[in-house]
Amino acid sequence: MRKNWDLYFLDIAHEVAGRSTCLRRAVGAVVVKDKRIKGTGYNGSPAGLPHCLDEGCAMLEGHCIRCIHAEPNAILECTPDERQGATLYCTDKPCPECQKLIITSGIKKVVYSRDYHAHTDWFSLATDMEVVHMPKKDEEA
Per residue in 64-96, pLDDT (tens digit) is: 899 999 999 999 999 999 999 999 999 999 999
Q: Which residues are catalytic?
A: 71
- What is the C-alpha separation between 133 and 38, in angstroms, rounded? 21
Q: Strand 28-33 and strand 87-92: pairing? A: antiparallel
Element (H, E) at 99: helix 96-105
- Return the bridge partners of 28, or none: 42
pTM: 0.93
For 46-57, what is each residue's pLDDT tens digit? 999 999 999 999
User: What is the CB neighbour count within 10 angstroms for residue 13?
Assistant: 27
